[in-house]
Copies of this chain bind each other. A is one copy, B any other.
Amino acid sequence: MTQQRRDLVDHVFQQHDHFDADDLIERLPPKTESGCVSRPTVYRTLVELVDAGLLRKMDLEGRAVYEHDYGYPQHDHLYCTGCHSLIEFRSDELVNMRKTLAKNHDFRVTGHRLIITGLCRNCQTARRRTRRRVDMI
């Protein structure tokens, strides 16, 4: 348990949000007095946190996005292509569907990933008014 890992873990679990490796790197330097954590260390630590079951990883437009896993209920996401935000939702139907499918296809399910793409409320109206900025975070 080094200082770098402590910094990373602290920031990661400060609030429940979605982030990628770059977000993490950009957020860290200003908040730590010990200088910034190097890119390889961030990637290596993320792998370990995922393996340890503390984070969940998903691929979004070619990049790896992470969110809390440990202690969080299973859920899926609405993804807004306007502001690139992820909105969480839960669905028991989906879990049941998964069970049925597993049985029908003799498939041993280990997990799933559902992303529903579209425009969130804000981006629907923003698009009408003005050219919205496509900035992230």
Q: Which residues of A contact B (CB under 8 A)?
A: 59-62, 64, 78, 80-81, 87, 89, 91, 93-94, 97-98, 101-102, 105-121, 124
Given contacts A59-B62, A97-B94, are A118 and B124 in contact (CB under 8 A)?
Answer: no
Which B residues are CB-close (under 8 A) to A93? 93, 97
- Complex CA gap A117/B108 in Å reads 8
- Copy number in this complex? 2
Task: Tell me whether A106 and B121 are in contact (CB under 8 A).
Answer: yes
Other A-B pairs, 20, CB within 8 Å; known A89-B101, A105-B120, A112-B114: A59-B59, A59-B62, A62-B64, A78-B107, A80-B107, A93-B93, A94-B94, A94-B97, A98-B116, A102-B118, A106-B121, A107-B118, A108-B119, A108-B124, A109-B116, A109-B117, A111-B117, A113-B115, A114-B114, A114-B115
